[in-house]
DNA sequence: TATCCGTGGTG
DNA sequence: TCACCAAGGAT
């Protein structure tokens, strides 16, 4: 998309945006300096996550892993523990992998170009542009949801921002507008604008510093932009959650390294949709015994009919029916599993859904 | 390219 | 209850 603005108009646009930013920019922990490690950490945490949620995680994580070298050397389970509750857990694993790449491939000094940053694990076009512009003053766009919304409104762009190929339309446009003297501030100003006057819900475009440049505002069509196709509803997946207790504690298993809640610890789950008609208690016992390699160990089930715990993810809604069992301790050597005392749960990285299950058990008097 | 991957806030 | 959103990336 070619921009037919004069040089004077482009200069006025940049000045209006940056003057406003200089006056009104938010005071955020990762804006204290331009350390690329700080920028990488904050940008990774901020992916699909709100600022208010990230701030305490960011401060704690930096306290725990102060440098890129410290993160590269850290045990992975400690990194996961620091990420616990933040969601999208593969971000944590990729972040540590990127730290290792910086140490091993670049001697501990981040590369300066977006193209090189893009090669690091977990860094996509947005994060590469953010680090390159904020930490290294490179004139690279950082196109996040805010930038999509702000520029879609400014220029009444009809392309669907849910489609990957739409990014290039915005990229081309922003490269013509970004301030070559202050690219990092330009990108961050757009984000601040997108989270304030140009927010998604109930925007206040009249008071935006870019109101005079905003084609959607000038035509009273702000709420028509950005154009974004809708997501599908999450599918319902029913599980039995096995609460197996022995003298050594509760049985927890580590989730597979890929997929949902990767690497985190939970009660064993049995996918009821794969069990077909095996919904009777005796069949359930058989399935549980099979799963946990419990042959010969007697189980006593209780409260199998209790109300399920619900937890909704982006693409799935889990309905978890708690099934409690008392067991002798048995050898777990071959499983990614261990017996854990309830008081020691907090030492492991647990997903929120597991914490919900624990809370339900405590409310029911068990555990 | 379409789908997968969490969580908490909001109206 | 529900739909949508919030500083996206990997596959």
* Nucleotides of chain B touched by protein CB (<7 A): 1-11
pLDDT at position A295: 40
What CATH homologous superfamily does A7-224 map to?
A: Hypothetical protein; domain 2 (1.10.340.30)
Instruction: For A235-363, give the CATH class.
Output: alpha beta
Q: Give span(s): CATH 3.90.79.10, chain A.
A: 235-363
Tell me the average confidence (pLDDT) per consecutive run of 10 residues in chain A, 367 residues long: 93 98 95 97 96 96 98 97 96 97 97 97 97 98 97 96 94 97 98 96 96 96 92 89 90 92 94 63 57 48 65 93 80 81 96 94 83
pLDDT at position A167: 95
53-72 of chain A touching strand B, CB 7 A cut-off: 53
pLDDT at position A312: 93
pLDDT at position A288: 59
- Taking the C-alpha atoms of residue A97 and residue A247, their distance in angstroms, rounded to an integer, is 38
Q: Give span(s): CATH 1.10.340.30, chain A.
A: 7-224
* Nucleotides of chain C touched by protein CB (<7 A): 3-10
Q: Which residues bind near strand C, taking a CB cut-off of 7 Å?
A: A 26, 28, 30-31, 42-43, 46-51, 88, 90, 94, 121-128, 130, 144-146, 149, 188, 191-192, 194-195, 199-201, 228, 230-231, 233, 314
pLDDT at position A296: 43
| A43 counts as catalytic | yes
pLDDT at position A330: 73
């Amino acid at each position: 998309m070619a921009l037919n603005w004069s040089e004077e108009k482009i200069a006025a646009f940049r000045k209006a945006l940056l003057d406003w930013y200089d006056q009104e920019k938010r005071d955020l922990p990762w804006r204290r300096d331009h350390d690329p490690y700080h920028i990488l950490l904050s940008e990774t945490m901020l992916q699909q996550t709100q600022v208010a949620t990230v701030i305490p995680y960011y401060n704690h994580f930096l306290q725990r892993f102060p440098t890129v070298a410290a993160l590269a050397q850290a045990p992975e389970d400690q990194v996961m523990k620091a990420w616990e509750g933040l969601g999208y857990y593969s971000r944590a694993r990729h972040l540590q992998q990127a730290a290792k790449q910086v140490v091993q491939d670049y001697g501990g000094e981040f590369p300066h170009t977006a193209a090189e940053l893009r090669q690091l694990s977990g860094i996509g076009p947005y994060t590469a542009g953010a680090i390159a512009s904020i930490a290294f003053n490179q004139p690279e766009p950082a196109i996040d949801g805010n930038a999509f919304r702000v520029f879609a409104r400014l220029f009444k762009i009809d392309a669907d921002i849910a489609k990957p190929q739409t990014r290039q339309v915005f990229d081309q446009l922003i490269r013509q507008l970004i301030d070559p003297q202050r690219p990092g501030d330009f990108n961050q100003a757009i984000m601040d604008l997108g989270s304030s006057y140009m927010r998604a819900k109930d925007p206040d475009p009249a008071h935006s510093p870019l109101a005079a440049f905003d084609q959607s505002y000038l035509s009273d069509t702000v709420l028509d932009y950005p154009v974004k196709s809708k997501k599908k509803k999450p599918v319902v997946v029913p599980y039995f959650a096995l609460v197996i207790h022995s003298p050594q504690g509760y049985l927890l298993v580590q989730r597979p390294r890929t997929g949902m809640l990767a690497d985190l610890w939970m009660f064993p789950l049995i996918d009821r949709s794969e069990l077909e008609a095996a919904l009777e208690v005796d069949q359930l016992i058989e399935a549980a015994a099979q799963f946990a390699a419990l042959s010969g160990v007697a189980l006593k089930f209780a409260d199998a009919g209790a109300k399920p715990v619900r937890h909704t993810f982006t693409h799935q809604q889990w309905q978890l029916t708690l099934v409690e069992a008392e067991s002798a301790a048995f050898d777990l050597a071959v499983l990614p599993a261990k017996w854990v005392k309830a008081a020691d749960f907090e030492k492991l990285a647990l997903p929120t859904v597991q914490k919900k299950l624990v809370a339900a058990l405590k409310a029911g008097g068990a555990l």
